[in-house]
Structure 1
Amino acid sequence: MKEFKIVVYFVFIVFLVSCKSGKAVLNSGEINKDISAKQLIRENSKKQAKFKTLQARVKIDYTQDLEEQGYTVNLRMEKDKTIWISATLGLARAMITPKEVSFYDKINNQFFKGDYKLLSNLLGVELNYEKVQSLLLGEAMFDLKDGKYVASTSENSYVLQPEEQSALLELFLLMNPSHFKMDSQQLMQPLKKRFLQVDYLAYQDVEKQILPKDIKIIAVENNEEVIIAMEYKSVSLNQDVRFPFKIPSGFKEIVLDDTP
């Protein structure tokens, strides 16, 4: 289970780099302390990424227990439909669709195929395709129009948080005053000693789309901490892409305990 959990973090977080070498977006915006939560949500919704497909090569540095590993993967996405990654030489491959999460690993001859309930329990956050895709693009993981939020400021960011925080899940969204995309998304589950922080360290303008450039992830459960840093290598938008995915015969299925 522990090994598979590491794989899930890798598969989940590797999708977060969806950017192109382009013009850097400068953080030149000034904080307006009188801005309302409704205004922030409206400005944020205007900046949602608009493209059909994306493909890129991504370098990931993964650190756990002071041990660091590096990966280079191919990433492809068809917006709202499919997210696909493939490690070097196809040794591992994953595909996420609105209905299903699939993964196979040729090194250990194993595969996983299931719904979002299992991954939600494993990562401690209720997931679906839309939430994963939003995280990839520097957009809010939760639909901000569905709840009531209050606005405040913290150093160089706006802060949105639910008007009433849940005892089970506390949420803080830091928004950039220059372009109103996410600076950071922080999810805490104090009772389960879980914490997930996604920091968008820099953005860039790619074909008139503001997309993440540098991202750092910190995931904590009890005393275990995983840190993932990502560096884009290249990306192209709106090109024809394929999503080859076939689980090899003879592989052993990974079956998870779906209890929370």
Structure 2
Amino acid sequence: MKRLFLLFAVLVFASCKTKQAAVTSVNAAPTDKQAQEIVNHHLASSPAFKTLSGNLQVTFDDGKNQQSLPFSFRMEKDKVIWISAPLGIAKMMATPEKVQYYNRLDSTFFDGDFSYLSTLLGVEVGFNELQNLLLGNALYPFPSTPQQGYIHLLPESNQRYNLKIEDSTPIQVRYSLLPDSYRVETTEVRHIGSSQKAVATYTYQQVQDILLPLTLLITASQGDDSTQIGMELKGVSLDKDLSFPFKIPSGLKEITLK
């Protein structure tokens, strides 16, 4: 159970660099005009809604252990991400300011900011990265000046638009975008000079007039070791009044950094 909740802190992108992850427009990308147009189409395709709710089935497989659990999932865009296991056995709520989590199965809880998860994972993790990952947005903002990095338009494959993002860090990010919707089909994050790599692959569903992820398969690998986490989102409702109940039960042990 704890492993699955840590997923929502972008566990599989532990090899990624520290970046701010707001979705912003591109004014003067240091690349050719076609690449800039593709980037702007992608940013314009970001799902527009106020609230979202649905049922989330999450699977975990690291080659040694397999696990599958259902969750209730709610989001108020840019404000709250909330998940709950059946009967409230475990819950997590994330806001831009903090993360709260409890698990009755192992009698633990956490109530603090993202610095705990950043230390745990070895990389700074924020609310925006988590939201972008769950919605099928580009994980990081695109560079808009040469000082921030470069956008390379790669040859098309299977009619997908392929972009490679490079900057001064040892991390390389690639996106494959669908030709009609400009939504992300795959995100690949690779640590140059090592065998660390994470790939997120999406399929989509249309809910009202927007595209939202139907499935998300994340594969994180290092050398011969590989972990897969799958998610399937069903029963989606948009823009309804939602509550985000969260209260840490008494008698649980707080998770603290050592």
Which of residues 126, 131, 134 in structure 1 aligns to 2:132? 134
Cα deviation 1:212-250 (Å, max 9, x = unaligned): 112111123565432112222311000111111111122
Counterpart contact for 1:55–1:77, Cα < 8 Å: yes
Percent identity among equivalent residues?
Answer: 33
Aligned to 2:233: 232
Aligned to 2:23: none
Gaps of 5+ in 1: 15-33
Gaps of 5+ in 2: 12-31
Which of residues 101, 105, 108 in structure 2 aligns to 1:107? 105
Aligned to 1:150: 152
Cα deviation 1:99-136 (Å, max 9, x = unaligned): 11111000111012232233234335432212211111
Does the C-alpha gap of structure 1 residues 221 and 242 become closer, same or farther in structure 2, counting only changes over 3 Å? Answer: farther
CA-atom RMSD in angstroms: 2.4
Q: Which amino acid aligns with 1:226?
A: T
Q: Which amino acid aligns with 1:166?
A: T
Q: For residue 144 of structure 1, give the secondary structure of its aligned residue in structure 2.
A: coil
Following superposition, which runs of at least 4 residues in structure 1 exceed 6 angstroms of deviation?
none
Q: TM-score, normalised by structure 2?
A: 0.81
Cα deviation 1:130-151 (Å, max 9, x = unaligned): 2211111111111115443111
Does the C-alpha gap of structure 1 residues 222 and 152 become closer, same or farther in structure 2, counting only changes over 3 Å? Answer: closer
Q: Which amino acid aligns with 1:152?
A: L
Does the C-alpha gap of structure 1 residues 125 and 154 become closer, same or farther in structure 2, counting only changes over 3 Å? Answer: farther
Q: TM-score, normalised by structure 1?
A: 0.81
Does the C-alpha gap of structure 1 residues 199 and 122 become closer, same or farther in structure 2, counting only changes over 3 Å? Answer: farther
Deviates more, 1:128-137 or 1:158-167: 158-167
Measured in 2, the distance between the counterparts of 1:225 and 1:118 equals 24
Higher relative contact order, structure no. (Cα contacts within 8 Å, ≥ 6 residues apart): 1
Does the C-alpha gap of structure 1 residues 96 and 87 become closer, same or farther in structure 2, counting only changes over 3 Å? Answer: same
* Paired positions, count: 233
> Does 2:214 align with 1:213?
yes
Which of residues 78, 83, 96 in structure 1 aligns to 2:76? 78
